[in-house]
């Protein structure tokens, strides 16, 4: 069980939500809060490799997401402080295959999604 679950449901270049989620993830990690991050719905686009922001005016979130995944790998040896998940059904709905995704996170089905989100003491949705 995590103390905090951050659920990212928003596409990375439509609103400021994803940048705020990244800020909260980094804050939680820096304060040693056991955190789970779940990318679902349009949030799965955050895990897409070689992102194109187009003319959105947003700064690329790709480097920040890669850093979070790297931090999760690094912390794995120290007690699983940060876990990264994505929802399998959302990936399928958005048509994103494994060949277009970053690596370093766990894909969960509906049951796994419910378990991760439901077991957290606190849930933040972006």
* pTM summary value: 0.87
- pLDDT value, residue 80: 62
Among residues 120, 122, 97, 116, the alpha carbon closest in space to that of 39 is found at 116
> Could you tell me what percent of the chain has a pLDDT over 70?
91
From 65, 66, 109, select the one nearest 91 (Cα to Cα).
Answer: 109
CA distance 37 to 94: 19
What is the enclosing helix (H) or strand (E) of 63?
helix 62-75
Q: Are 65 and 102 in contact (CB under 8 A)?
A: yes
Q: pLDDT tens digits, residue range 6-64?
A: 999 998 887 889 989 999 999 998 888 999 999 999 999 998 887 776 776 777 787 78
Please classify residue 58 by burial: count the beta carbons closer than 10 Å to its beta carbon, then call 0-12 exposed, 13-18 middle and 19+ buried.
Answer: middle
Q: What is the mean pLDDT of residues 73-102?
A: 84
For residue 77, what pLDDT is reported?
65
């Amino acid at each position: 069980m995590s103390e905090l679950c951050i659920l990212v449901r928003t596409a990375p270049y439509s609103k400021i939500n994803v940048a705020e989620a990244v800020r909260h993830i980094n804050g939680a990690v820096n304060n040693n809060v056991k955190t789970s991050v779940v990318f679902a719905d349009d949030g799965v686009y955050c895990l897409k490799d070689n992102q194109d922001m187009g003319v959105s005016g947003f700064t690329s979130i790709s480097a920040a997401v890669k850093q979070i995944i790297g931090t999760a790998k690094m912390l794995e040896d120290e007690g699983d402080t940060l876990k990264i998940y994505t929802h399998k059904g959302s990936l399928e709905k958005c048509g994103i295959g494994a060949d277009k995704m970053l690596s370093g996170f766990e894909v969960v089905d509906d049951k796994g999604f419910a378990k991760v989100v439901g077991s957290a003491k606190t849930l933040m949705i972006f």
